[in-house]
Amino acid sequence: MNKVAAAFGIQEALDKLGIQTVNNGTATGSDNFASGEIISSYSPVDGALIATVKSTTKEDYEKVMEVATKAFAHWRTVPAPQRGEIVRQFGEKLRELKEPLGKLVSYEMGKSYQEGLGEVQEMIDICDFAVGLSRQLHGLTMHSERPGHRMYEQYHPLGVVGIISAFNFPVAVWAWNTALAWICGDVCVWKPSEKTPLCGIACQNIAADVFSANGLPEGISCLINGDYKVGEMMTSDSRIPLVSATGSIRMGKIVAQAVASRLGKSLLELGGNNAIIVSPDADIKMTVIGAVFGAVGTAGQRCTSTRRLIIHDSIYDKVKDALVDAYQQLRIGNPLDENNHVGPLIDTDAVALYEQALQKVVDEGGKLIVEGGVLQGEGYESGCYVKPAIAEADNSFAIVQHETFAPVLYLLKYSGGVENAIALQNGVVQGLSSAIMTNNLREAERFLSANGSDCGIANVNIGTSGAEIGGAFGGEKETGGGRESGSDAWKVYMRRQTNTINYTTELPLAQGIKFDL
């Protein structure tokens, strides 16, 4: 371990999470089936190699699926409240290991330590939600038109659920899916991002300990590592009835087509191009706080990050000046140092896309009012640290229509009524998160109405990022239409069955059809 990792206790965190590294840096402890090529995990914090893991080959994958399928045959017969008890224990383990897991998330992914802890808290919260849900997997009863008949519907487990997650939330999104799937009686095969494989190993170790302590099959939770080729094994596998995929729109379209070609189900959480509307009746102080965190939190690498700020022309200069002042106060550096606001991008490829976006907005006629740039020198050796930037732009710019996974905020101006701002906000292909800042009740209700925001998430007087697990999370249009986490999102992990019971000695047919013998 280098001096940064040593100073912030990364090795101790790895030890607590059951991740040992041998002399060549290979992580051990959970890749029992893996025998493929080496994946190296480098920290964007300091550029250091944390460890390497083995990727999953086709032969390895078949072994995993065999174990998972066998585990499902048992797990689906366990009563849901008993499954809830296992998830409760998993949540308790997460409470015990919140600090080291949050630290690993921060070091391997690059988000601030506080955000890393928050991500683990999301895992804990969804476990609590799922435990309560384990006694509420309810169907409906319906009146039959036939005398002496009873109708109802119930939900059954689907089977093996495939989960493909992204680097920016390397543990929480997996838990959103897994906690609900486990409660529903499913087993899970997870492919984490190849950019954050150690977070996947850590979670798998925690889950494996819980299942082992309860004498349950290890295949209830399975981990496979690798790039898109490993993901293709899942999307083309008819043994996996549901694939939940989080990532780019480009990736989501590929997954959707592959899964649909075999008539499987896909749950897609794809890109966002999220906007905050700032009306003349907005609280400017609240607006600045919400916009800045939304734009620079996780270094702009959230699907719910604020990309566009749509400001009424009457307050445009006032809001712009406040934002410029706020950006001058941002501290950029090691995310494990809680004095810093902004950490690094995930890798140098992301830095290149950030630089391209800044150049494109200028080329299209925009103006940088807070100039960006790549930071160099002591503390920035990884080459992944950039300055959050603000540009004045137009909604029609090609780069504004595109989601750049970096801290770049576009300021757009509107005039007239709030309907004009809503039209700008909706004028992109993505439809994930949205917000309006206003103290005008009519504007707020118009924004939330059927002809208001077309996004899956619409907030009033809070920003676009930061969702609670109690509500269903997801978006419309090219965001994919999926819903995860709270509300009735659990239903996607189950199959619905309608049952009719005849308790008479007659056999009447529906719709009055006669068929006498």
Read off the pLDDT of residues 341-381 as tens digits, 9 standing for 90 and up: 999 999 999 999 999 999 999 999 999 999 999 999 999 99
User: Is 96 in the active site?
Assistant: no
pLDDT band at 34 (very low <50, low <70, confident <90, very high): confident
Tens of pLDDT, residue by residue over 195-207, are 999 999 999 999 9
Averaged over 65-84, what is the pLDDT?
A: 98
Selected catalytic residue, list 194, 269, 443, 484: 269
User: At residue 74, does pLDDT exceed 60?
Assistant: yes
Averaged over 238-264, what is the pLDDT?
A: 98
Q: How far from each other are the two terminal CA atoms of the chain, in whole angstroms? A: 83
User: At residue 30, does pLDDT exceed 60?
Assistant: no
Selected catalytic residue, list 184, 303, 384, 455: 303
pLDDT band at 24 (very low <50, low <70, confident <90, very high): very low
pLDDT band at 29 (very low <50, low <70, confident <90, very high): very low
pLDDT band at 33 (very low <50, low <70, confident <90, very high): low
Return d(Cα 148, Cα 54) in angstroms, integer: 60
Please answer whether residues 274 and 459 qualify as being in contact, where contact means their C-beta atoms are separated by less than 8 angstroms. no
| Domain map (residue ranges) of the chain | 3-270+483-496, 274-468
Please answer whether residues 430 and 477 qualify as being in contact, where contact means their C-beta atoms are separated by less than 8 angstroms. yes
Structure tokens at 71: 């585990």
The alpha carbon of residue 388 and the mean position of all alpha carbons in its chain are separated, in whole angstroms, by 22
Averaged over 385-407, what is the pLDDT?
A: 98
Averaged over 179-199, what is the pLDDT?
A: 98
Apex 194 CA angle, 265 and 188, nearest 5: 40
- CATH code, 3-270+483-496: 3.40.605.10
pTM of the model: 0.96
CATH of 274-468, one of 3.40.309.10, 3.40.50.2300, 2.60.40.10, 3.40.190.10: 3.40.309.10
- The mean pLDDT of the chain is 96
User: At residue 333, does pLDDT exceed 50?
Assistant: yes
Averaged over 87-91, what is the pLDDT?
A: 98
Please answer whether residues 205 and 29 qualify as being in contact, where contact means their C-beta atoms are separated by less than 8 angstroms. yes
Averaged over 69-73, what is the pLDDT?
A: 98
User: At residue 23, does pLDDT exceed 90?
Assistant: no
The confidence score (pLDDT) of residue 1 equals 66
Return d(Cα 367, Cα 79) in angstroms, integer: 60
Averaged over 396-414, what is the pLDDT?
A: 98
Residue 286 is which amino acid? Answer: M
Buried b (16+ CB within 10 A) or exposed e, 226-239: beeebbebbbebee
Tens of pLDDT, residue by residue over 453-511, are 999 999 999 999 988 999 999 999 999 999 999 999 999 999 999 999 999 999 999 99
Please answer whether residues 315 and 282 qualify as being in contact, where contact means their C-beta atoms are separated by less than 8 angstroms. yes
User: Is 269 in the active site?
Assistant: yes
What's the DSSP call for residue 68? H
